[in-house]
Amino acid sequence: MIEHEQREILGMVGDHWVNESCTAFFGVGETWATLYSIESRDEGKGHATELLKTAKSYYEGKGLKFGGSVALNNRMSKIYQRLEIKEYNDY
């Protein structure tokens, strides 16, 4: 079961999502939602993919532009591509 709630992490308020062994933190503004971090303790089980698919649908359903910070590895890059998540890598 995927759950999410608003939390403050490192002084920033955002949305904390949990799915099985995976946790993610999203920054949310008036017009956007951005994945800042994601971690899975049980990689390869699809928990991150399922969480991101659900979060993308949730935020886009609210009319928000959805994307993610720079993918830090090839696995995350492939998930972004598969789910058509915009990667914000133009800093």
Instruction: Give the pLDDT confidence score for residue 48 in this predicted structure.
Output: 92
Instruction: Give the pLDDT confidence score for residue 90 in this predicted structure.
Output: 66
Give the pTM.
Answer: 0.88
Delimit the domains of the chain by residue range. 3-88
Instruction: Give the pLDDT confidence score for residue 17 in this predicted structure.
Output: 97
The CATH number fitting domain 3-88, selected from 3.20.20.80, 3.40.630.30, 3.90.650.10, 1.10.645.10: 3.40.630.30
Q: What are phi and psi of 26, to 5 degrees?
A: -120, 135
Q: What confidence tens digit (pLDDT) does each residue in 26-47 have?
A: 999 999 999 999 999 988 899 9
Which of 37, 31, 30 is CA-nearest to residue 7?
Answer: 37
Instruction: Give the pLDDT confidence score for residue 9 in this predicted structure.
Output: 79
- Which residues make Cβ contacts (< 8 Å) with residue 14, sequence separation at least 6? 6, 7, 8, 25, 26, 27, 28, 36
* Positions of the chain with pLDDT under 70: 90-91
